[in-house]
Amino acid sequence: MKTDRLEANLLPTRTTVARRAWFGLSRTREYVARQIAAGRTKKETIRLLKRAIAREMFRCLTAVARRFGLWPATISTLVRGTRRDDDLAHAYRNWLQAA
């Protein structure tokens, strides 16, 4: 569905804006400083930060999928609320709280 893809594409953008606005994570602060020191523009730095966030999200998604023996797309649809599976949602919630 086009709407799901648009929402998935907006997530790294929103995360980038939040991370840059707050500079809350030292990883983000260090990453931005490295990119600026390398001579990148603000626009390039934001683009690279979005790509880094997308990679981080994908690693998390695949780790969860591997843990439950599912495809990453299954976990993604569960998280976005486009699929309902109460047993999986309960197990996933418990796993998140234990981590």
pLDDT of residue 39: 95
pLDDT classification of 27: cutoffs 50, 70, 90: confident
Mean pLDDT of the chain: 80
**Residue 33 Cα distances to 11, 15, 20, 36, 92, angstroms:** 23, 18, 11, 5, 35
pLDDT of residue 37: 94
pLDDT classification of 2: cutoffs 50, 70, 90: low
Mean pLDDT of 87-93: 88
Mean pLDDT of 75-97: 86
**Residue 46 Cα distances to 22, 37, 64, 77, angstroms:** 14, 14, 27, 27
Closest CA to 73 of 12, 5, 3, 2: 5
Considering the entire predicted model, what is its pTM?
A: 0.64
Domain coordinates of the chain in residue numbers?
A: 2-98
pLDDT in tens, 60-82: 889 989 989 998 888 888 887 88
